[in-house]
A and B are shown apart, each in its own frame.
Chain A
Amino acid sequence: MSLFSFLNKRSSAPVARERLQILLAHERALAGKSDLAAILQEEILAVIARHIAVDREKVQVKLDRGNAVSTLEIDIEMPEQPGASGAAKVPVRN
């Protein structure tokens, strides 16, 4: 807790403003469309399932929305082949 963090604590409104601008830009772009992450997850899984048996319970989806680049991370565990678990990273929008 330095003097600097004390000064920063006072002025939280600019942070609120920036967070809202980023969030609403994304939400407006997605308005009326169905959940992009869910669609990508389903289609990517369907492709993989054609070749490998995938346990639906062992699929992790992470979305990180940034200012310039967003990352969609789909982590699929493949228990049949030990050590073969991999992550597919798909940039979705900028």
Chain B
Amino acid sequence: MAKVLVVTSGKGGVGKTTTTAALGAALAQSGKNVVVVDFDVGLRNLDLIMGAERRVVFDLINVVQGDAKLPQALIRDKRIDTLSLLPASQTRDKDALTEEGVARVIAELREKFDWVVCDSPAGIEKGATLSMRHADAAVIVTNPEVSSVRDSDRIIGLLDSKTLRAETGGRIEKHLLLTRYDPARAARGEMLKVDDVIEILSVPLLGIIPDSEEVLRASNLGAPVTLANPTSPPARAYFEAARRLMGETIDVTVPSEKRGLIGRLFGRKVVA
């Protein structure tokens, strides 16, 4: 049965689009049929992060308004054939999204795919609420930083009240994904620790994505980080998170770079 997953955060710039691309690709790399859907109407970027920006013809708004059929708007990934993208419109605004239209598109996507991963826009306006409306599960992307944690708390409140599941007496499955984490700084008391964030937000942890140069490199190249460099620490963390989404129980680790002797000595000194 298909699962609809929303990647959300409230705050902008914490890594929602990076996460949508990386988790979507990781799920597809393990053989699942996956579509990633960009809900950021007017400020689309998932196409760019996926490296499909030159292949966009129709978009979500065209399908919502009936100007194009869903298969016409879907862009099949050139590297993984089980991965597709439904881009957002760049020229329209969020008012072009309608409740009924989105419901119809999501229902159609559920029939075609195992996973429907929705990339929410920042904020709590219409685009964000519609992107979470039909979700079965949510990944709350949070940076270990006060404004991001506060906005995540707000979004958790909306997930528990404004989603279809919540309104019909059910519960939405929630997962915390901590991104841009720097274990050394957290150990020195300069950054909120993983346990602090989990305790404050009371949401189970899906994974910890270490702060890494590889994420920017992947976006420069137009490839999800799990494809651009599958053995890099952030990619390994995303692969683990994807396995947990699929129901596996594995310990959460913070993947790190393989360090030379100097790096190891330095790392130990910092942690001690």
Contacts and interface: CB of A to CB of B under 8 A. Distances in A.
Contacts of B178: none
A32 to B, nearest CB: 7
Q: For this complex, into which size category does the number of interface residues on chain B fall?
A: 10 to 19
Nearest to B186: A13
B153 A17 contact: no
State the main secondary structure of chain A at its contact with B: helix
Contact of B188 (A10, A16, A21, A28): A10
B153 A24 contact: yes
A19 interface: yes
Given A13-B186, A21-B200, A28 B192 contact: no
A27 B153 contact: yes
A11 B190 CA distance: 5
Interface string A4-17: 00000011111011
Interface residues of A, number: 16
Nearest to B196: A17
Given A20-B149, A23-B150, A13 B191 contact: yes
Contacts of A39: none
Contact of A19 (B146, B153, B193): B146
A31 interface: yes
A12 B189 contact: yes
B65 to A, nearest CB: 33
A20 B190 contact: no
Contacts of B154: 27
Contacts of A27: 150, 153-154
Interface in A1-50: 10-14, 16-17, 19-21, 23-24, 27-28, 31-32
A14 B200 contact: no
Given A11-B190, A12-B190, A28-B157, 17 more contacts: A10-B189, A11-B189, A12-B189, A13-B190, A13-B191, A13-B193, A14-B189, A16-B196, A17-B196, A19-B146, A20-B149, A21-B200, A23-B150, A24-B153, A24-B200, A31-B157, A32-B161
Nearest 9 A/B pairs, CB to CB: A11-B189, A17-B196, A13-B189, A16-B146, A24-B153, A13-B192, A31-B157, A20-B200, A20-B149
